[in-house]
Amino acid sequence: MGSKPYGKLAIAAAYAKYYLRAKNKHGVHPPTVYAIADKVLGAAYKIKHKDIESERSRLKKSKQVISFTDYGRYGSIFKKKIADIANTALKPKKYAQLISQLVVHHGAKDVLELGTSLGITTAYLARNEGTEIHTMEGDKTVAGIAQNIWNQLGLQNIKCTVGNFDATLDQLQGKTFDVIYIDGNHKLEPTLRYFEVLQQHATTKTLFIFDDIHYSKDMENAWDTIKAHSTTTSTIDLFFIGLVYIDPSLSKQHFTLRY
């Protein structure tokens, strides 16, 4: 069984440790990493999608109760208010903006998101012109709510695949992606397995984005293992997300940037 999520005090301690070692653009020199610090982190704040944020606010107020299967918890079935899911599972606006800007910066045409949730971050990704989003969600009820939101926002460049990732990842055969965002299962073994499997759907220029790398001891161990992986070159720790490059033209270096 995976380790439990860190409590508020442990997260605060981990964040303080991160903040003290994090650098800004003046503390990094490799061009790829400097460009992230200089052109992405600041620009992300300028992304404004009031209509998407209006949908987020609506979800946070919804009293509707749904039953859904959480494959990240060994297929357990839960009943929850949509508002509770929205308040705990949705990526905050700051990071939805950042992930969207990373897609722009890398000129990504094809993006894979592993873990749709209620579809807010997916909507941010889909607002990038010329980008096709393939998102994967374990539960059909949750995916249906997300689809309704995309319909409301007029987003037609999203394809959603529903089901247990262990089965649905096989449907990606022959496809490659420019950005792969992994936010589907916050446990050590599945996270590492997804990294291995999804390298079959990557090129040397693909950016991997891992969610909640300091969420638990499991995820911190996963992050350390990914950093040490033979195909990993440069990584960037932004605390709530981690960026991984597998480009052999880059030196194997690890950076922590303040965001």
| pLDDT digit string, tens, across residues 215-237 | 999 999 999 999 999 999 999 99
* Phi, psi of 97, deg, nearest 5: -60, -45
- Please give the residue range of the domain that contains residue 40: 8-61+91-256
Work out how many domains the chain is built from and give that number.
Answer: 1
SS3 60: helix
Is 249 among the domain residues? Answer: yes
pTM, two decimals, is 0.94
Per-residue pLDDT reduced to its tens digit, 199-209 = 999 999 999 99
Is 231 among the domain residues? Answer: yes
Is 239 among the domain residues? Answer: yes
Q: Identify the CA nearest to 103 among candidates 243, 259, 250, 258.
A: 243
Task: Identify the CATH number of the domain in which residue 52 sits.
Answer: 3.40.50.150
Per-residue pLDDT reduced to its tens digit, 80-127 = 999 999 999 899 999 999 999 999 999 999 999 999 999 999 999 999
Q: Identify the CA nearest to 212 among candidates 144, 76, 114, 82.
A: 114
Is 76 among the domain residues? Answer: no
Give me 256's structure tokens: 């922590």
120 within 8 A of 94, measured Cβ to Cβ:
no
Is 178 among the domain residues? Answer: yes
Is 222 among the domain residues? Answer: yes
Is 232 among the domain residues? Answer: yes
Q: Identify the CA nearest to 87 among candidates 110, 57, 124.
A: 57
